[in-house]
Structure 1
């Protein structure tokens, strides 16, 4: 029921373009804490670096913490930051519900809390949750997939992150709804089969292992759809090892990992949804500093960056060779 409540809350979200982000300066003493639930993947490492840089550019002192994918540790990290006197807290939550008491306690102490990237349950007392528009990104990816495959029968291997993850659910359902609607609109029918779902734990290694299992059971796969680029990149390695790359279209609902962009440029990878970790971090810090300054922002519980599907036609707009992610 909580997942349904959260998805419903997304309907009233604020949308912001990357161009709308502007560097802000703290009007007074500013101490920012950045509580990451993990730094164990390039995406999150890039996000932490960008958040630190944005905080320092705003004239704030900054401390960061790695929750090491452990909710109890992340709760402790938040408590330590509040005790140390941070007045802005940026949190990428390990668990949507599990972090609610820690966030509420921080807000009760006068800390301005902004959630970032991973979803925090809207029952918590925080300013807003900054993220990519997972559903809208997914819809655009689905529409692109329908156009690319032109009504041919699709046998899709679905690679999901972790069971019960609200972000993963929004991503896959966004792609599938966009795909189905575009198929019906353009061709009057939809010949789509999800032949199997594998759980890749958001990682390249997990995507490889899940794809190996799916290939064994379903050798006729012609589309691999992943909830992030890392798992699809791993799936590609499994396909390559099995001499099954030919005739398989690779797509991801989100992320925009540099390696995926490079393969999109060369035509080895179909498309991905835009999810820039640095842009999310900068926007989260900006919102937190503005709140500290007392500036009116008129935000809803969820603030989304502008969605986009990245393909061979537009990848040069987004590809940064020197990016960490």
Structure 2
């Protein structure tokens, strides 16, 4: 497992033709001929719903730019070495003017820098470099990071749990984490424990891996409930995991709305679950908006302008990303930007 899969697994194709094109490595072109910007889009996995949503935003920004832009999507196959090789290749041939990357492993991807040929790189969701919580570009060549520090986002999630648990003693919490060894999830888990550990009434009774997969999470939470059927909270960092946890609760005869069930990612199903009160909260991502912003900043760099070094991904969706039923009432038309 890798450092990106939180919030990412559970692919749903944008369209069948898009997946076929990208899987074959064929370029989607918004223009051709002289003066065309050639951009490589490096997905952690082109078969993944979150990555597809980012690419959708990239294409929307390209179409809206009024410029000739040729996009080529490369499939990293959720493999760090594959994506590292792809970045090294596209920045050494001289065939590309810029890169948008959704890092599978931002720490490992730093090994590609300095680039063989100096072209601008914009990274989405995760930074490239040794510090997973530093969004300011850490290596020469990355011009913009579109994201938020994972520890900051995780701490905010945990604060919602603290509020819920204020009058519950003991308040028994299960942490449902994507991968306990990935840098991204290590940061999130640390933030969860730091916030929750400051309250004596809160007891973390179990920490399990969901692998960003519904069925894996269903099994993991089913096992937890055999020993801890009286849990009050399931805190998950991925909506696909929370969906599995919901099924496990229902199978055990526990109504999800009777406890604090939360996720992360902002899938359409998650937004609907929060609106319905089945889930208490969700940390919403905006991958289409992030992809649009990434290409906009890359265009500035390719045009010789000055891109923003950091784009706060929490502020580009137009709503409060830490969503509850009460906050979502304020934006009745928002349904989420992607399918998990």
Alignment TM-score, normalising by the size of structure 1: 0.79
**Alignment partner of 1:167 is 2:180:** no
The Cα RMSD (Å) is 2.6
* Structure 1 match to 2:53: 46
**Alignment partner of 1:76 is 2:93:** no
SS in 2 for 1:278: helix
**Alignment partner of 1:116 is 2:124:** yes
Distance 2:220 2:296 in 1: 39
TM-aligned CA deviation for residue 304 of structure 1: 4.7
* Structure 2 match to 1:231: 241
Deviates more, 1:108-117 or 1:145-154: 145-154
**Distance verdict in 2 for CA 1:322–1:225, change over 3 Å:** closer
- Match for residue 262 of structure 2 among 227, 251, 260: 251
Per-residue CA deviation, residues 47-73 of structure 1 (Å, 9 max, x unaligned), is 222222223333221111121112232
Distance 1:214 1:120 in 2: 35
TM-aligned CA deviation for residue 249 of structure 1: 1.6
Answer yes or no: is the 8 Å Cα contact 2:45–2:77 preserved in 1.
yes
Distance 1:212 1:310 in 2: 26
SS in 2 for 1:169: helix
- Match for residue 219 of structure 1 among 220, 229, 232: 229
* Structure 1 match to 2:40: 33
Q: Higher relative contact order by CA 8 Å / sep ≥ 6: 1 or 2?
A: 1
**Distance verdict in 2 for CA 1:318–1:92, change over 3 Å:** farther
Per-residue CA deviation, residues 176-200 of structure 1 (Å, 9 max, x unaligned), is 545566xxxxxxx531111111111
Alignment TM-score, normalising by the size of structure 2: 0.76
* Structure 2 match to 1:324: 338
* Structure 2 match to 1:313: 326
Per-residue CA deviation, residues 130-169 of structure 1 (Å, 9 max, x unaligned), is 1134333333333333323333121111111113323323
* Structure 1 match to 2:21: none
SS in 2 for 1:98: helix
Answer yes or no: is the 8 Å Cα contact 1:140–1:308 preserved in 2.
no
Structure 1 segments unaligned to the other structure (5+ residues): 4-27, 182-188
- Match for residue 89 of structure 1 among 84, 88, 99: 99
Distance 1:319 1:213 in 2: 38
Matches within 5 A, 1:156-305: 156-179=173-196, 190-245=200-255, 247-252=258-263, 254-297=264-307, 299=309, 303-305=312-314
Number of aligned positions between the proteins = 288
Deviates more, 1:233-242 or 1:45-54: 45-54
Answer yes or no: is the 8 Å Cα contact 1:239–1:245 preserved in 2.
yes
SS in 1 for 2:72: strand
Deviates more, 1:78-87 or 1:55-64: 78-87
Distance 1:142 1:319 in 2: 27
